[in-house]
Amino acid sequence: MTGLWEIDAAVSPVSVLAGGSVQLLLRVQIVDLDNPDPAAAAFIDLSCTQARRIASEILAATDDADLQTDQDGCEEAAR
């Protein structure tokens, strides 16, 4: 298992009442690329604030992984 994942986000058909106004949710789909079974995909509806926080954490983690890769002298994998 290589642990390859794909994350996709789109505006959800769901909305919630937040702070007195209607807010659309962001639907996030997480797909296990090692498992072609569609049932392996996970969906979650997040508020914009929650989605932004998670995206920031993912970006920070990728920056850290890039730094560690450079320090270890690893070559960058082809995308």
pLDDT of amino acid 77: 57
For the chain (79 residues), the mean pLDDT of every run of 10, in chain order, is 74 79 84 82 85 86 84 65
The dihedral region occupied by 3, where left means phi > 0, alpha psi between -120 and 50, and beta the remainder, is: left
Closest CA to 5 of 28, 31, 27: 31
Question: Alpha carbon of 44 to those of 27, 30, 65: distances in Å?
Answer: 6, 9, 25
pLDDT of amino acid 1: 43
Delimit the domains of the chain by residue range.
5-72
